[in-house]
A and B are shown apart, each in its own frame.
Chain A
Amino acid sequence: MNGIPETFFGWVSLIFSEYGDMFIKGMWSTLFIAALGTIFGCVIGFLVGIIQSTPIESGSSLMLKGVIRLTKLMVSIYVEIFRGTPMMVQAMVIYYGSMQVFGWNIIPIYAGVLILSLNTGAYMAESVRGGIVSIDPGQTEGAKAMGMTHVQTMLYVILPQAFRNLIPQIGNGFVSAIKDTSVLNVISVTELYFMGRTACGTYFRYFEVFFIISMIYLILTFISSRLLILLEKKLDGESDYELIAEDEIGAV
């Protein structure tokens, strides 16, 4: 070591050389939680959104109507709770609550994934419902008129389109998730922000440390949003089509 640095960038490079490995480890934790949380969150969001947009058909049995109503009520309570409280508070309640009430000692990083998933799911649900409703009702009628059931209509016609329309939203969710993982430091998840706090302990250079941390966050979010735009383009497929000559039609 060459003594105490005098400039800002001197400190930045010193801190990075000493704590770089730790920051990279924190970065991987952050990515791990954000990725899994977004994936599970989407699954939850789609399930909840599908449940919320299920019509109660007039001809269904009373039993089925009851089950649908009850499920709808339960998922809307879930959405209200997770949208209506801060994620940091949810982390405390779930992590310490499960420890105190059930005696579970969840590994913090898994608790983090669980909390982020539940949170993302609650936000996603509303977007999914919106995505389903936004598909031209004519297509639902077209499917119904040819005898498709509600489930078939959703599976083959509505959800593929809703999913396509939701990709920007999912991308946004992932970018938010990368940043939101920072609140999980309250339950000692060793993600990027937590590593930053730890690194401050030696030199008390908060500015330099969190300058590095913010750069890492920025790189992560920048790369992910570019990748998502590429994915979106790929999913849209080619914009041209080939006409097929009359004598080739049968052979396609």
Chain B
Amino acid sequence: MEQNMMKYDETILSVEHLGKSFGKNEVLKDIDFSVRKGEVISIIGASGSGKSTLLRCINMLETPSSGNVLYHGEPVKNTPRDVVAYRSNVGMVFQSFNLFANMKVLKNCMIGVQKVNKKHEAEAKALALKFLKKVGMGAYLNARPHQLSGGQKQRVAIARALAMEPDLLLFDEPTSALDPEMVGEVLEVIKQLANEGLTMVVVTHEMAFARDVSTRVVFMDKGIIEEEGTPDVIFNHPQSERTKAFLNRFMNQ
């Protein structure tokens, strides 16, 4: 792929010495990690390895217990104002979609653009329509979330995040709550966005997706980044025993 040849020199986001504990349970230990413009990073690992928590710390949905999150080199301060401003630049797509049940599809995609990015209704609508069409949900503008299938909901959630025009999009297991036949339609959309050069970090259990679409794969185990590298390195020549064991287990399922 052409973009694999691209140089990723502009760092959008990095975390330094990030730690997170829930009580005595240490979920993340001294994580260093960065995302450069244009990268598509897959985070893989067993359940409980801390990958979702890392993603939630990146978006400050969980307050890190130690360490820093830096956005374009500036530490994100943990005050409501700074966090709010930062989040509007970093989109997030959740496992459980989290659409607003009281709004129709179109409004779901407009509300953030209007209220957070302070754009006029017409502009918000144009953005919402553009991205709803892109994810193939243009026909469902007037539907309410509960009237949609899981795959459709997730595509609307992706359009909603895109309409905010973020620098970076985080996906937290975007296909884990979907029926098998709907996984494909959502992965197709994410793949298309990756090919268009959108910077993204995807926590996933879809190994084929991680292997074929990512520019970098991060393997997490027991709260640390055990190994990271190109898909070729991680899937074909893993160095760490734990990575090998995990992939073996996964591939034999």
Task: Contact check, B139 vs A148: say whether CB atoms are below 8 A apart.
Answer: no
Chain B residues whose CB sits within 8 angstroms of the CB of A149 once the complex forms: 80, 84
User: Is A205's CB within 8 Å of the partner chain B?
Assistant: no
Task: Contact check, A146 vs B87: say whether CB atoms are below 8 A apart.
Answer: yes
User: Is B138's CB within 8 Å of the partner chain A?
Assistant: yes
Partner of A59, one of B83, B96, B100, B132: B83
Task: Contact check, A157 vs B96: say whether CB atoms are below 8 A apart.
Answer: no
Chain A residues within 8 Å of chain B by Cβ, number: 33
Closest to B108 in A: A142
Question: Which of B82, B96, B102: most chain A Cβ within 10 A?
Answer: B102
The segment out of A100-108, A186-194, A244-252 that lies at the interface is: A244-252
Task: Contact check, B112 vs A241: say whether CB atoms are below 8 A apart.
Answer: no
User: Is B6's CB within 8 Å of the partner chain A?
Assistant: no
Chain A residues whose CB sits within 8 angstroms of the CB of B77 once the complex forms: 59
Chain B residues within 8 Å of chain A by Cβ, number: 46
Given known A246-B138, A249-B129, contact A157–B102 (CB-CB < 8 A): yes
Give chain A nearest CB distance to B84 CB in angstroms: 5
User: Is A156's CB within 8 Å of the partner chain B?
Assistant: yes
Closest to A152 in B: B115
The segment out of B140-148, B190-198, B224-232 that lies at the interface is: B140-148
Given known A243-B140, A246-B139, contact A141–B98 (CB-CB < 8 A): yes
Partner of B92, one of A59, A145, A242, A252: A145
User: Is A164's CB within 8 Å of the partner chain B?
Assistant: yes
User: Is B161's CB within 8 Å of the partner chain A?
Assistant: yes
Given known A145-B59, A146-B88, A147-B87, contact A139–B164 (CB-CB < 8 A): no
Distance in angstroms between the alpha carbons of A123 and B88 in the assembled complex: 38
User: Is A57's CB within 8 Å of the partner chain B?
Assistant: yes
User: Is B63's CB within 8 Å of the partner chain A?
Assistant: yes
Give chain B nearest CB distance to A65 CB in angstroms: 11
Closest to A61 in B: B79
Interface residues of B in 71-115 (CB under 8 A from A): 77-80, 82-89, 91-92, 94, 96-102, 104, 106, 111-112, 115
Given known A138-B94, A244-B139, A249-B133, contact A148–B83 (CB-CB < 8 A): no
Partner of B96, one of A58, A138, A143, A245: A138
Closest to B63 in A: A58
Chain A residues whose CB sits within 8 angstroms of the CB of B61 once the complex forms: 141, 144-145
Closest to B147 in A: A241
Chain B residues whose CB sits within 8 angstroms of the CB of A57 once the complex forms: 80
Task: Produce 1/0 per residue, A210-252, CB < 8 A to B.
Answer: 0000000000000000000000000000000111111001101
Closest 6 CB pairs of A and B: A147-B88, A142-B98, A59-B78, A145-B92, A146-B112, A138-B98
- A-B CB contact pairs (8 Å), 15 listed: A59-B77, A136-B98, A141-B98, A142-B94, A143-B112, A146-B87, A147-B84, A147-B86, A150-B80, A157-B102, A241-B144, A241-B147, A242-B142, A249-B138, A249-B141
